[in-house]
């Protein structure tokens, strides 16, 4: 694990590594669902580092389901305590965990870009089997974009699907520099957009972000 893990990556902790985390945070160890998280084979998600994080450790998040307060727990692990890593799941793989009312929208999204990935409630329900989705849940997506020429078709397609979707479509268009919220990219080339990268948030123009998306 020599390369930094990308934001939104899903990782699994070793038993020893998770035990060390529980020792550092005894208040978390008192909650059975958290204490047994790694033992149950459930993942953690790579997040952007915070000022309070220890240098050299991988910053990770553990969002609990609504039945456990919907808390967002921040922890850190040494790379040697991470035994597996993977990108966030493909929307096609997570679709079976979605409500029936979402299926038509998901089918349209997959026709638009089969490589679409998902994070947020749908991803966590798919990966853990725990009930994360609620009637008010958004569908959080990551659309990998390989060229600026592809952007217009993709963005207009997302916008059209979003107008008819029974849930809010949220998420980012992603490229080498990071991710930009898809609605921000529907403006003009001179508009400023927020780029969420591995280490923090930067700003650039819509045109500059899309120009960096090389195939």
Q: Which residues belong to the active site?
A: 138, 140
Among the listed residues 156, 122, 38, 56, the one whose alpha carbon sits nearest the alpha carbon of residue 29: 38
The answer to whether the CB of 112 falls within 8 A of the CB of 154 is yes
3-state secondary structure of 44: strand
Beta bridge partners of 119: 140
3-state secondary structure of 125: helix
Radius of gyration for the alpha carbons in the chain, expressed in angstroms and rounded: 18
What is the layout of strands, in order, in the sheet containing 201-205?
117-119, 139-144, 169-175, 178-181, 192-196, 201-205
């Amino acid at each position: 694990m020599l390369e930094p893990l990308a934001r939104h990556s899903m990782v699994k902790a070793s038993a020893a590594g998770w035990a060390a985390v529980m020792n550092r945070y005894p208040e978390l160890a008192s909650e059975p669902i958290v204490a047994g998280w790694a033992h149950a084979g459930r993942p953690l998600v790579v997040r952007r580092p915070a000022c309070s994080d220890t240098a050299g450790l991988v910053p990770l998040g553990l969002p609990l389901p609504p039945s456990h307060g919907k808390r967002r727990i921040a922890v850190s692990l040494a790379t040697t305590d991470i035994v597996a890593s993977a990108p966030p799941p493909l929307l096609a793989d997570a679709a079976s965990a979605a409500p029936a009312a979402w299926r038509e929208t998901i089918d349209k999204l997959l026709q638009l870009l089969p490589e679409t990935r998902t994070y947020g409630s749908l991803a966590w329900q798919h990966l853990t089997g725990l009930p994360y989705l609620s009637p008010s849940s958004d569908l959080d997506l990551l659309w990998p974009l390989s060229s600026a020429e592809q952007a217009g078709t993709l963005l207009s397609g997302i916008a059209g699907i979003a107008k008819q979707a029974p849930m809010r479509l949220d998420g980012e268009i992603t490229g080498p520099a990071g991710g930009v919220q898809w609605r921000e990219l529907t403006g003009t080339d001179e508009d400023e957009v927020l780029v969420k990268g591995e280490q923090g948030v930067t700003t650039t123009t819509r045109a500059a972000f899309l120009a960096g998306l090389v195939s």
